[in-house]
A and B are shown apart, each in its own frame.
Chain A
Amino acid sequence: MDKAFKNIKDAEAMLLTVGTLLMSSGASTGRVRTTVNRIADALGFNIELLITNRSLMLKVIDEETNHFIASLKRTSPHGVNFRVVSGISKMSWKVVEENWNIPQINTEIARLVALPHYPRLIILSSVALAGSSFCALFGGKGAELAVAFIATFFGLFIRQESLKKRFNPYVSIFFASFAASLLSVLSVKLGIGNSPDLAIATSVLFLVPGVPLINSFTDMIDGNILNGIVRGIHGLIIALAIALGLLCAKFLFNI
Chain B
Amino acid sequence: MDFIALFEKGFWAGFAALGFAILFNVPQRTLIIIWIMGALGGFTKYFLIALDVNIVPASLVGASLIGILSVYAAHNKQAPPLVFSTPAVIPMVPGAFAYRMMLGCMELAGTSSNSETYLKTLAETTNNGLKAFFILIALSAGVAIPMLVTRKDTFKRIKSSEEQE
Show the binding face of A for B, using Cβ within 8 Å.
26-28, 31, 34, 38, 80-83, 85-87, 89-90, 93, 96-97, 117-118, 122-123, 126-131, 133-134, 136-138, 197-198, 200-202, 204-206, 208, 210-211, 213-218, 221-222, 239, 243, 246-247
User: On chain B, which size bracket covers the interface?
Assistant: 35 or more
B50-58, B88-96, B117-125: which lies at the interface: B88-96
Whether, in the assembled complex, B22 has its beta carbon less than 8 Å from a beta carbon of chain A, the answer is: yes
Interface residues of B, Cβ cutoff 8 Å to A: 8-9, 12-13, 15-20, 22-27, 30, 42, 78-80, 82-83, 85-87, 89-91, 93, 95-96, 98-100, 102, 106, 136-137, 139-141, 143-145, 147-148, 153, 156, 160
Taking a contact as CB atoms under 8 Å apart, the answer to whether B80 and A129 are in contact is: no
Say how far B27's CB is from chain A's closest CB, in angstroms: 5
Are A218 and B19 touching (Cβ within 8 A)? no
The CA of A76 and the CA of B63, in the complex, are separated in Å by 31
Contact of A26 among B24, B141, B143, B145 (CB under 8 A): B24
In this complex, which of B24, B25, B96, B144 has the most chain A Cβ atoms within 10 angstroms of its Cβ?
B25
- Contact flag A126-B22 (CB < 8 Å), given A133-B13, A201-B99: yes
Question: Which residues of B sit under 8 angstroms from A137, Cβ to Cβ?
Answer: 9, 12-13, 16, 42, 91
- Which residues does chain B contribute within 8 Å of A26, judged by CB atoms? 24, 82, 86
Instruction: Name the contact of B140 in the complex, choosing from A82, A129, A217 (C-beta under 8 A).
Output: A217
The distance in angstroms between the C-alpha atoms of A38 and B98, with both chains bound, is 40
A175 to chain B, nearest CB (A): 17
Say whether A205 contacts B140, CB under 8 Å: no
B136 with A117: CB separation less than 8 A: no
Tell me which residues across on chain B come within 8 A of A197, comparing CB atoms.
99
In the bound assembly, the distance between CA atoms of A217 and B82 in angstroms comes to 13
Give, as a whole number of angstroms, the nearest-CB distance from B161 to chain A. 11
